[in-house]
Structure 1
Amino acid sequence: MIHVRIQQNQHEDIVAFVMSGHAEAGPHGQDIVCAGASAVSIGAVNAIHALCDVDIVVDSAGEGGYLKCAVPSGLTTRIFEDVQLLLQGLKLSLEAMMETYPSFITVEIDRR
């Protein structure tokens, strides 16, 4: 199962997210849940870099199955808001996947 933990601050801004595990919803190379979760998460990171000119802090491990991303500090208000819009889109996509495939992906919101 893919476990996603989205970390939000007291203002409900997304400050980090961690994805770990494998969906195992199908044979290797045909797992649409894994492919979808990977596509939306890497797509969000790439969009933040390309559209906002922000290098989000990324940690990934080995052959996949782990991705940790954190929003860097010191962004202007405008850039921070743009980054938040992209991360909120990621959150909505992952939550929609969880509703459709609850046996293969969970999304937890961690408010600190």
Structure 2
Amino acid sequence: MITIEIKRDRSYNIISFAGSGHAEYGEYGQDIVCAGISAIMQTAVLGLTDYLDFDINIDVKDGWLDCQLTSDIAQDQQVKAILETMLVGLKGIQEEYSEYIKIIEGGGKND
């Protein structure tokens, strides 16, 4: 199972996201769930780094992606659009393949 962790600040901005594990929906190289999740998360990272040119803390390994944002970057409207769209996409995959992906959201106004 792939676990996605989303952390928000008190203003409800996404300040970090991480994905770990393997979906094991299909054979290595043919796992459409893993490929979809990876594509969505990596596209979000590319949007932040290549399109918006933000310098963010990223750690990528096999079965692991972690992205940490500073609070000033997290408040940017374009950043919000990219990250909230990422989350919508991940939740869409979760609706169809709930046994292969778990999304955990933390933080926010009550943090």
Same fold by TM (over 0.5)? yes
Structure 1 equivalent of residue 93 of structure 2 = 97
**Deviation by residue 1:55-107 (Cα, 9 ceiling, x = unmatched):** 2210123xx11111011344496xx1111110001111111111110010011
Residue ranges of structure 1 left out of the alignment (5+ in a row) = none
2:64 maps to amino acid: Y
Give the letter for the 2:95 counterpart. E
Amino acid at match of 1:106: K
Aligned mates of 1:105, 1:41 — CA distance in 2:
13
| Structure 1 residues 1-112: aligned runs within 5 Å | 1-61=1-61, 64-75=62-73, 80-111=76-107, 112=111
- TM-score w.r.t. structure 2 length? 0.90
Distance 1:69 1:101, change over 3 A: same
Instruction: After the TM superposition, list the runs of 4 or more consecutive aligned residues in structure 1 that deviate by more than 3 angstroms.
Output: 73-77
- Amino acid in the other structure paired with 2:69: V
Ranges in structure 2 where 5+ consecutive residues have no aligned partner: none
Distance of 1:49 and 1:83 partners within structure 2: 10
TM-score, reference length from structure 1:
0.89
Contact 2:20 2:63 in 1 (8 A): yes
CA distance in 1, matches of 2:74, 2:57: 17
Read off the aligned partner of 1:33 and give its amino acid letter: V
